[in-house]
Structure 1
């Protein structure tokens, strides 16, 4: 009740604050100047075009910028103005002696390319920027030196609200049920392995990250925490340009990332390429304490070391052809080839309490996993801007084909005991149609359809040669998931108030067939997902936003497969074909402001989820040995709420500071789970109600030293986190980099140290049988990768830095109704 009262007070305070600002604004006689800026040749809107308004009598200067559709809306006092319209690479247009006494629409303003400027350079953003939209926040990657030579995982881990843990799992506001898209769609660049693929997508290929905590109806309902949309770079300026990044580091790291673009008036050819070779040493240690009547009986220690070697090649090549001034066709081919040679060595010792001289179990298990993966994706997009008012039709077709083979010989105490092999194949097809119809000056209606088809097969074979293995995990499955979606949404802006209302329907058809046992599981359901996004502009630098959305999380195929996979002599994972999807209702209230050199964002959020999925660990006795089995199950309801703050402060041109803080609390109802062992016996785990909290914070600084050397520091701390059956300790990490531009700013050198103190480790405690009366307690430490030092060289041709783009775009009340 105290927490509900606290949130109510916060909401009431914000409402009173909004009313105060509204009264203050009403006393200022202002008008609104609107219009749209487009390119004269292609008729495409120009985003970030600048309007500079000089009040003729007082010489006072004001202005604004255009949004993604080229639209602008600027509040100014009545009077006579000189208006200057600018966009880098285009000729400036002057509108002189404009007397403005009432709300005025300047209509469509066209800008023509400046041939001399276009032949010089492509403009590259120098610094990271933040754009606030009605339904999302956009973080432009910019010139973040700690990311040079890094990967998509590093980029995501640098975004406020996002965390990447020691194993590479991505979470949004502490919730791992997040949907990751590339250019707005599922992508082969993510591949079958998901987090592994993100570790190999070069950071230099990424232009920006969209954080969508309250997605509109246009987006898939998948992902209860929200959506992270990775936008790749594409050349936008006429001519040939690009960049080349070469990175070398220790432990062994070589990464080469060329980005090449060529654009004319009729077509745009763009590419993002990347090759990497990397060694990834890691380690873990787990101590199992077996209890009898609450007293320690015996102890088991598992020491694991990981020696990973990965070769990866990524390519994304696209061609956009401009059919005429209003329509275009874009074809894109994505190819990813990965090869991994991973050796996991597991040393297991078990002995009685106070007697380590006679071990009950002593085993050295070495698994050499050799993996080859190939991902291909073909996509085509047709876009038709039916008129200059925003009426638009887009059609997307996509086909993906992923193949992965694994061979894993296993030796136990120097004797070859198993030969494991797995072949996984996945084919995905997608059709999406979206239509946007403007209504009047500030409203629009949108309707669309999406059909996605996934057909996956997996054949896992274990050849047991010399082992006391208590089961044969060989299995073959097929998994089909088809989702058909229809949506519509309507958005409008009335003065300072804007809203976007939507409704999405998704028909899900899932079929899992375990061929080994002829066991089939099907689930079919139709669900409705309403969305509401509301914005209110307090003034030019402040806005409020309120969002609601209903989401779901469907279980992945490896969570459904009932057969087991073994990671050590005593640890296995088993899927659960009876899993149901998780449904979540999310609410988000946000406030953003800009005060001179200081930017602040704050939000309060609440999520209510049903049938949440978490792995439960049980101990099963097999052939006299205790086997630790992890299985995902549907728990009861979860209530999660919290608040977050983000800030940017640039006191001087040489110092840039940013920080973010997120605190959340969650409650999970008490739950009782019954596990059926191999011999048919029942193992009951009673989980008490969980009331826990956690938090994480980030701090970034960029300071320009003498000789124009940039020094950047990034600090991150994630607080302790507990769930139904385990506790996780806090974790601290620091990254450090120094950079220097050379060759007349055509190139850069960057020295980067990732995990400076080698402290990125996960420490956890798991209670088997429940917290109140556990039968076994497991204390573990896990480190996915160790500290890394790298040196990067980047060369840019026909490019230079862009210094004019604002560092913070507050468009929360604008007309961003396209989702």
Structure 2
């Protein structure tokens, strides 16, 4: 949609050009940024009457537009070319979202190149064009237009929240309170998203979504979104993009939508070194990134590490019915979490020719997460104490991953390009636990081990082609194949208080070999009318074949094909509003956590196991949204509905073998329906003080099958209203000081058998920038009064469960950052591979 935006605004030029002659109409364009009063503004520029008698040539003028004060791009800046002698406009264009502009077929002569954009001073550059020679204008810096009005300084400032043509963008680099945290701390503040205590993400009430990192998938995300978020320090996140209605170009997976986490990249010419660090009582981080860019070659090398410590206290009250007897279980546990995460990258890009580029990168990731829990378990049979047991459990979640990417892009003319991309992604995981069974006097009685090794890799090949048709149409087409392999090898071992371990006959070893091949193709067409109505329609076909087997036999999962249509309609309303309507059909394939058949009994009263026979879920989504400006307030209101069949959800039943225990697995339930609204506002009290916040309100209905006391399945349902919200305020002070406060609430989430508890969170932070703008020092606190509490319930005719999780995550953190090197803007190369297809939003145990 960003490239499309450039096409449709190709003839959109500045309103402030002194000698321009404006026509009465024609297709214009829209862009959203803050105006001089701090408001998020929907811009629509009229069309210039170009000099129809101006001769055409074979030369080209191109360059980049940036903000000179912060060295960031100026998106959609207006560029006009004037004949120096006649003072008439002979050509014009609009810079794209990277600040790049280009004009072709320019005749030899002398011109004035005029660049304008709201909030910046106009800039005029004299250009002499020689026949057959191109003019590279390089980097053009615009100065911010600062005016003094009644002793109030007004400047253009980028908002914390931006709404673009096809997505909502949260500018995380402006978030002071999350420094020293991780990606989950950032996502908790993004409109429409909810993140629970374990880092599991949901979008508008569903965890069936896809998370990308820099527009690309990674097996660390495919294995577990929650674990991936813990690996990414908040300091490295530039923006978070929420795409609720992906076009046909995106993979059909992710029934709830797509979350794209953009990390800070190299946009520097020369040699630079960036240091970011943070020290806190809950976590610390350190990253060091070096960049070298000269001429056609750019090289990046860097890495970051994050360590954290946390403590929690949990209680579990559980009642089950077995053989007519009621078994009550009361369980308490102190938990201690320790984690050490790291990710290291090496990348380069090279201009093979003027219109060809090659980009390659390799990234290594590592995770070392350990949880120690001390369980006390009391069991009652018909209200009489039956037994008391003690259990010390150490769970280890270890992994190492590698992502290798290679992209080739050939540009024929502006917005016409062909690309070929390849990716190899691999993740090796270890999910083990060691348990010591103790007597009342804390004497060791016996030992138990669960060994579970997992392997997940993907090979992706993709080619895409896009071309403009006239000035108001865009055609896109592409092919893609994904070869995916998932393996799990697990076993249980037991031993006495002393001696060697032996195989546990009660829990036999097992394995899963799961291969999935996907072949896909898409076509997309975009059309914009003279009244600025934009319609983007497309369809995508994906064919999936699966082979799977365990240690005993093949698991039969039929191949399936899906035709996935999508349509997005956008229309400006008035001078500052935009109305959008979208529909799409999506599919969601099960992820590794849902498939893994390992019998995880780290908590013997609440056991989990995957289901390798899961089928994909299918959803239909519709959305209507309106964004507008009311004086100094930007407001976005959206209504949405979603119908999902074969919804993948967690189902819990009593254990047949362990008295008082329950077992949770994943099943394709009948259906899930969600209807709701998101309301978000951004208010500028002054140019330096902003308040933004939002409310998420939706109705959720689930229906599926459940086994009753008599062993007969019956249809059950559950429904409820879910509400959540967030409020944030940021204030810029003199001498480089800034403060920010945040508060949010995640409401109870409806489950088929009960509810998952809500929780609240809050933080406040301050930062001082050094005079040279190359460094900063900050201090922030999180949840300082008691941490977080989450209460969840499960109910069925056979059991009831109430669990309470107290997370003592009060945190005080000190952050420091510094940049060394000569900074000069250069274009960041595009990358193409986007696997948007594996469900990874499962809860962790």
Structure 2 contact 276–288 (Cα < 8 Å) conserved: yes
Q: CA deviation at 1:242?
A: 4.2
- Aligned counterpart, 1:32: 47
- Of 104, 112, 124, the residue aligned with 2:138 is 112
For 1:353 and 1:66, how far apart are their aligned partners in 2?
74
- Which of 700, 720, 730 is residue 692 of structure 1 equivalent to? 720
Indicate how the Cα distance of structure 1 residues 195 and 656 shifts in structure 2: closer, same or farther if over 3 A, else same: same
Structure 2 residue 391 is the aligned partner of structure 1 residue 365: yes
Q: Does 2:779 correspond to 1:751?
A: yes
- Whole-Å Cα distance in 2 between the matches of residues 110 and 224 of structure 1? 44
User: Structure 2 CA distance, aligned partners of 1:800 and 1:739?
Assistant: 22
Aligned residues: 722
Post-superposition offset of 1:202: 1.8
Residue 8 of structure 1: aligned partner = none
Native 8 Å contact 1:352 1:360 kept in 2: yes
For the pair 1:451 / 2:485, whether they are aligned, the reply is no
After superposition, the C-alpha distances for 1:590-637 in whole angstroms (9 at most, x for unaligned) are 1111234211111111111111122121113426x2321112222222
Aligned pair in 2 of structure 1 residues 143, 799: CA closer, same or farther (>3 Å)? farther
Alpha-carbon deviations, 1:120-140, whole Å to 9, x = none? xxxxx9855444333222222
Q: Say yes or no: does 1:182 pair with 2:217.
A: no
User: 2:240: which partner in 1?
Assistant: 209
- Show the counterpart of 1:399: 424
Distance (Å, rounded) in 2 between the aligned partners of 1:292 and 1:335: 49
Give distance in 1, aligned partners of 2:388 and 2:566: 57
Contact in 2 for aligned 1:127/1:143 (Cα 8 Å): no
> Would you say the 8 A contact 1:454–1:480 is kept in 2?
yes
Deviation at 1:540, TM superposition (A): 4.2
Q: Distance in 1 between matches of 2:447 and 2:276?
A: 44
1:38–1:46 contact (8 Å) kept in structure 2: no
After TM superposition, the score normalised by the length of structure 2 is 0.79
C-alpha distance in 2 between matches for 1:292 and 1:193: 35
Of the structure 1 ranges 225-234 and 198-207, higher mean CA displacement relative to structure 2 is found in 198-207
- C-alpha distance in structure 2 between counterparts of 1:128 and 1:185, whole Å: 25
The SS at the match of 1:744 is: coil
- Where in structure 2 are the equivalents of 1:244-643 lying within 5 Å? 244-251=275-282, 253-290=283-320, 299-351=328-380, 359-387=385-413, 389-413=414-438, 414-466=444-496, 471-495=506-530, 496-515=532-551, 517-622=552-657, 625-643=659-677
C-alpha distance in 2 between matches for 1:603 and 1:182: 26
**1:673 and 2:706 correspond:** yes
Change (3 A) 1:370 1:697: closer
What displacement does 1:501 show? Answer: 0.7
CA contact (8 A) 2:674 2:700 kept: yes
Instruction: Provide the rounded CA distance (Å) in 2 between the counterparts of 1:635 and 1:433.
Output: 36
Whether 1:713 aligns to 2:713 is: no
* Structure 1 position 91, deviation (Å): 12
Change (3 A) 1:801 1:292: farther
For the residue of structure 1 that corresponds to 2:655, the secondary structure is: strand
Deviations 1:153-187 (A, max 9, x none): 22222211111111111111121101011122212
Q: Greater RCO between the two (CA within 8 Å, min separation 6)?
A: 2
Distance 2:558 2:373 in 1: 37
Q: Distance in 1 between matches of 2:807 and 2:781?
A: 16
CA positional deviation for 1:328: 0.6
Q: 1:406 to 1:777 in 2, by over 3 A?
A: closer
5+ long unaligned stretches in structure 2:
1-25, 30-43, 51-59, 66-71, 81-91, 103-111, 127-133, 144-155, 439-443, 498-502, 826-835, 837-845
Contact 1:365–1:410 at 8 Å: present in 2 too? yes
1:778 match? 801
Partner of residue 656 from structure 1, selected from 690, 694, 702: 690
TM-score by length of 1: 0.81
Q: Does 1:764 find its partner at 2:792?
A: yes
8 A contact 1:257–1:274 mirrored in 2: yes
Going from structure 1 to structure 2, the CA distance change for 1:37 and 1:738 (only over 3 Å counts) comes to: farther
Distance 1:437 1:47, change over 3 A: farther
SS of equivalent to 2:186: helix
Select 1:220's aligned residue among 241, 248, 251: 251
Could you say which residue in structure 2 is the equivalent of 1:7?
A: none
Does 2:187 align with 1:156? yes
Q: Output aligned runs, 1:64-213, within 5 Å.
A: 66-68=95-97, 84-85=114-115, 93-94=123-124, 111-113=137-139, 128-188=159-219, 190=221, 192-213=223-244
Deviations along 1:406-445, one digit per CA (max 9) or x if unpaired, are 4432111123421222222222101111100110012110
Contact 1:189 1:334 in 2 (8 A): no
Change (3 A) 1:471 1:404: same
Q: Tell me how far 1:690 sits from its aligned partner.
A: 2.5
The reply to whether residue 647 of structure 1 matches residue 681 of structure 2 is: yes
Counterpart-to-counterpart distance in 2, 1:404 and 1:651: 49
Change in CA separation of 1:115 and 1:162 when aligned onto 2, cut-off 3 Å: closer
Once structures 1 and 2 are overlaid, which stretch shifts more, 257-266 or 646-655?
257-266
Q: Distance in 2 between matches of 1:480 and 1:164?
A: 31
Following superposition, the deviation at residue 780 of structure 1 comes to 0.9
Conserved? CA contact 1:167–1:784, under 8 Å: no
Aligned-residue CA RMSD in angstroms? 3.7
CA separation of 1:279/1:432 partners in 2, compared to 1, >3 Å: closer, same or farther? same
Native 8 Å contact 2:493 2:504 kept in 1? no
Q: What secondary structure sits across from 1:522 in the alignment?
A: coil
Structure 2 matches for 1:56-67, cutoff 5 A? 66-67=95-96
Deviations 1:680-714 (A, max 9, x none): x9734545332311011110001245665322111
**CA gap 1:48/1:525 in 2 versus in 1, 3 angstroms:** same
| Residue 757 to residue 521, structure 1, CA distance change in 2 (3 Å) | farther
| Contact kept? 2:731, 2:739, Cα under 8 Å | yes
Q: Per the alignment, do residues 40 and 366 of structure 1 end up closer, same or farther by CA in structure 2, a change over 3 Å counting?
A: closer
Does the 8 A contact of 2:403 with 2:426 survive in 1? yes
Q: CA deviation at 1:323?
A: 1.4
- State the alpha-carbon separation in 2 of the partners of residues 386 and 643 from structure 1: 43
Partners of 1:277 and 1:310 within 8 A in 2:
yes
| Contact persistence 2:476–2:525 (CA under 8 A) | yes
- For 2:539 and 2:199, how far apart are their aligned partners in 1? 33
Contact kept in structure 2, 1:734 and 1:757, CA below 8 Å: no
Taking the aligned partners of 2:474 and 2:163, their CA distance within structure 1 comes to 20
Structure-1 separation of matches of 2:215 and 2:773: 33
Q: 1:465 to 1:682 in 2, by over 3 A?
A: farther
Instruction: Quote the offset at 1:321 in angstroms.
Output: 0.5
In 2, the alpha carbon distance for the partners of 1:71 and 1:787 equals 45
Provide, for residues 695-751 of structure 1, a one-character-per-residue CA deviation record: whole Å limited to 9, x for no partner: 111100012456653221111012233322112343221111121123533221111
The worse-fitting range, judged by mean Cα deviation, of 682-691 and 506-515 is: 682-691
Gaps of 5+ in 1: 1-21, 54-62, 74-81, 97-107, 118-124, 676-680, 770-774, 803-818
Classify the secondary structure of the residue corresponding to 2:594: helix
Between stretches 732-741 and 753-762, larger displacement belongs to 753-762
Question: Are the aligned partners of 1:153 and 1:164 in contact in 2 as well (CA < 8 Å)?
Answer: yes
Rate the CA distance shift 1:370–1:613 in 2: closer, same or farther, 3 A: closer
Q: Give the 3 Å change call, closer, same or farther, for CA 790–799 of structure 1 in structure 2.
A: farther
Other-structure match for 1:809: none
Aligned-partner SS, 1:214: coil
Contact 2:208 2:255 in 1 (8 A): yes
Taking the aligned partners of 1:484 and 1:52, their CA distance within structure 2 comes to 42
Q: Distance in 1 between matches of 2:610 and 2:383?
A: 37
